[in-house]
Amino acid sequence: MIIKVTFLGTGAGTPGKDRYLPAILVEDGQRRILLDAGEGIQYRLLEVGVSPLKVTHVFITHLHGDHVFGLPGLLATMAMLGRKEDIIISGPRGIMNLVRSTMEVVGDPPFHVWVYEIEPSENIKEVINEENFNLQCVLARHTVTDCAYSLEWRTYVGRFDPERARKLGVPVTYWKRLHMGETVVLDDGKVVKPEDVIDIKSSGVIKLVYTGDTAPSNSVIELARNAQVLIHESTFSAAEDGNLVWNQGHSRSIDAAWIARKANVDKLVLTHISNRYSDPELLAAEASEAFPNVVAARDLMSLLINA
């Protein structure tokens, strides 16, 4: 399985010339997930060739405007384009009211919106548990309730057996989904599991963690433990006063690096970068002194994660 992560917006607070507001697109071949939905999200989706109709999940970290003001327009566009498929939205308390208010303006949409309103705590909490996908959250350290998210995929390594698939009557169009670890239901109602058609040698987990806005937090360290990728906010440079930054519920580049090191992650990606820094490589250079495998995200940058 390969997970594609595209940074649609990497800014903080207000949009900049080269930075839209926070939004990340995660694609796993089955789902198209948005992490936050800042202003301009619809335009950014068009730029990367993804229709709003194809978005399956939206996970909002917190209800500050720069992270959520793109959601009403996105839902309105989905309704205008005649979306039929359900969509899943999660976020902290208040996300339900935001969706309801949007729908009062949009009208009765031709699709159903499933809303998971979360009360995060410092202990890891499960939000969604689907076939080969799991979403967990903890309370990050911000000025309002912020859900830091862990996205996990169960992967299977093994040889796909076409003969077994044919004997079970599995159409070729389902083979890739089974090989990616998904259970499928055939047209006649028969349920086929990956192990029915794959000689499984081993299984593993792909883990991606996104913090939203946060000061350094032990709960985030536990959530991010052994993740392949940690996407951590880095609003400010190491040159700023730590106490002032933390009191605002934010982190510096070196704070993000410290979290990544403590959590034993493979890769750190810095985002939510203040417009005062024209070149985000400054922040990456600072972070690299404590954690070597780090990159500063730029708008429309993509990275691939595999098991």
pLDDT tens track, the chain, 307 positions: 789 999 999 999 999 888 999 999 999 988 999 999 999 999 999 999 999 999 999 999 999 999 999 999 999 999 999 999 999 999 999 999 999 999 999 888 889 999 999 999 999 999 999 878 999 999 999 999 999 999 999 876 677 888 999 999 999 988 888 877 778 898 888 899 888 888 766 567 899 999 999 999 999 999 999 999 999 999 999 999 999 999 999 999 999 999 999 999 999 999 999 999 999 999 999 999 999 999 999 999 999 998 6
Amino acid, res. 219: S
67 assigned binding-site residue: yes
User: 18 an active-site residue?
Assistant: no
Burial class (CB in 10 A: 0-12, 13-18, 19+), 135: buried
Choosing from 28, 36, 66, 146, the catalytic residue is 66
Fold of the domain built from segment(s) 2-306: Metallo-beta-lactamase; Chain A (3.60.15)
> Is 272 marked within a binding site?
yes
Has 299 been labeled as part of a binding site?
Answer: no
250 in a known ligand binding site? no
Exposure string of 216-244, with b = 16+ CB inside 10 Å and e = fewer, is bbebbbebbbebbbbbbbbbbbbebeeee
Which 8-state DSSP code applies to residue 280? T
62 assigned ligand-binding residue: yes
